[in-house]
Structure 1
Amino acid sequence: MNETGSTRKQILLMLKTNGPLTVSEMAEQLGVTEMAVRRHLNTLERDGLIGSKLLRQAMGRPTSQYFLTDKSEDYFPKSYHTFTLDLLNDLEQSHGSSIINQLFNSREKRMTETYRPEFEGKDLRERVKTLAELQDAKGYMVEWEELEDGSFKLIEFNCPISRVAHRYNQACSCEINWFQNLLDAEVERTECKAKGGQNCVYYIRAKNEVRQKL
């Protein structure tokens, strides 16, 4: 991480551990100027990660005190996968594996219905771009490209659900199914992080092109 990113991370960590702080308090702890702190705070506030409130003092002018917003919680480590795995395991033990299939089938249907409006009226290239942006915003670190034959390659360098998917393969099936539903295309996954791959790699081709090759 570069120095700028490191400083912003330190500011978030200070606010997480110490609670609301003023610019001068942060500058003193970081060993930098107040101007430097304000520059980082402007960016963090613009991104919705921090907020500010006016702190009235016994003497002198009021000053701003900065605090973390709910959005900032996404930047701190969580053990959601452990909680999720425990819940799924409890359900499986109590109701059998069929309940797990039902849960992932319901998730697939919900994801398709939720995002379908964002894909309607677009050609395949635009749909792939929309999917890439959607997954990237969810933390999958996505890159995509159009290949010479008109098909597309989409790579996810991160998989937030990899630990769940490693235990429950239904998660991977659910993912590729709602990709196909929203893209209205043939989607082939050639590499999967949950199965030991370096990344999740998808090849996407229009349905009519697949039929012509058969």
Structure 2
Amino acid sequence: MHLIEARKSTKDRILELLKKEASMTVAHLTGQLNITHMAVRKHLNGLESDGFIQSQDFKQPMGRPLQIYTLTAKGESLFPKNYEGITLEFLQDIQAMYGENAVEVLFKKREERLTREYSVRLADKSNPEKIRELVSIQNEKGYMAAGVQVDEHTYELFEYNCPILAVANQHKEACRCETRMLRNALDTEDIQRVSCKTESDDHCKFRIKFK
């Protein structure tokens, strides 16, 4: 969902208003958007079902409770943040002070941490279940992932977004660590990175084979 465009959808405008105002009622949103009360509720229901917003009843001295809408953590994640830029600056500073080896140690620590995290969630699952769970994990982390079963033993993992692309463009070790982590977490050595966004491909793609 693109929030910064010349022409925004009604859902994008609702998300932006909630970001600016922190919380709003249906009546308040209706006045800001210049559409019907029913249309606003339809968009709100969709956004709430998708997990981008949440509602809470607020009791009034008289009359029915007011429904107050706010962004969820998932909704907040749609708005640009500069965490990646700050991370890249820190890595550059560490490299300048302690050398390239220190940066490689940091990536290795991250690889070990993610391997433990993924392994717990993928343990005791069949191969199709592992891929489904892996897709879920990657989507939680913002990779816009999808999985496809090619044959009985072969799967493909697609990642249409890379939350650490700026870092990976400067430090290819990030991509190598991710591939090793997937091999260890999925318990198969036969994983190939077929395409990569750091090489100007449209998406990252892994081919995964189980015995």
Assess if the C-alpha contact under 8 Å between 2:57 and 2:65 holds in 1: no
Does the C-alpha gap of structure 1 residues 155 and 65 become closer, same or farther in structure 2, counting only changes over 3 Å? closer
Q: How does 1:23-172 map to 2 (within 5 A)?
A: 23-46=26-49, 47=51, 49-52=53-56, 54=58, 56=60, 63-148=66-151, 150-172=153-175
How far 1:82 moved relative to its partner? 0.9
How far 1:194 moved relative to its partner? 1.1
Q: Does 1:18 align with 2:18?
A: no
Which structure has the larger Rg over C-alpha atoms?
1
The superposition leaves residues 155-188 of structure 1 with CA deviations (integer Å, 9 ceiling, x where unpaired) of 2122121111000111101110110011111211
- For the residue of structure 2 that corresponds to 1:76, the secondary structure is coil
Question: In 2, distance between residues paired with 1:149 and 1:66?
Answer: 46
Match of 1:196 in 2: 200
Question: In 2, distance between residues paired with 1:132 and 1:198?
Answer: 18
- For the residue of structure 1 that corresponds to 2:77, the secondary structure is helix
Question: In 2, distance between residues paired with 1:118 and 1:194?
Answer: 28
- For the residue of structure 2 that corresponds to 1:21, the secondary structure is coil
How far 1:10 moved relative to its partner? 1.1
Assess if the C-alpha contact under 8 Å between 1:50 and 1:72 holds in 2: no
Assess if the C-alpha contact under 8 Å between 2:19 and 2:76 holds in 1: no
Question: In 1, distance between residues paired with 2:151 and 2:71?
Answer: 47
Letter in 2 for 1:159: C
Question: In 2, distance between residues paired with 1:13 and 1:130?
Answer: 31
State, as a whole percentage, how many aligned pairs show the same letter: 36
Assess if the C-alpha contact under 8 Å between 1:191 and 1:202 holds in 2: yes
The superposition leaves residues 71-116 of structure 1 with CA deviations (integer Å, 9 ceiling, x where unpaired) of 4210111122111111111111111111111111111111111121
TM-score (norm 1): 0.83
Residues matched between the structures, number: 203
Question: In 2, distance between residues paired with 1:62 and 1:121?
Answer: 47
Assess if the C-alpha contact under 8 Å between 2:159 and 2:205 holds in 1: yes
Assess if the C-alpha contact under 8 Å between 1:189 and 1:203 holds in 2: yes
Assess if the C-alpha contact under 8 Å between 1:53 and 1:66 holds in 2: no
TM-score (norm 2): 0.84
RMSD of aligned C-alpha atoms? 2.4
Question: In 1, distance between residues paired with 2:90 and 2:154?
Answer: 39
The superposition leaves residues 39-92 of structure 1 with CA deviations (integer Å, 9 ceiling, x where unpaired) of 3333434526234352748x8766333333444210111122111111111111
- For the residue of structure 2 that corresponds to 1:127, the secondary structure is helix
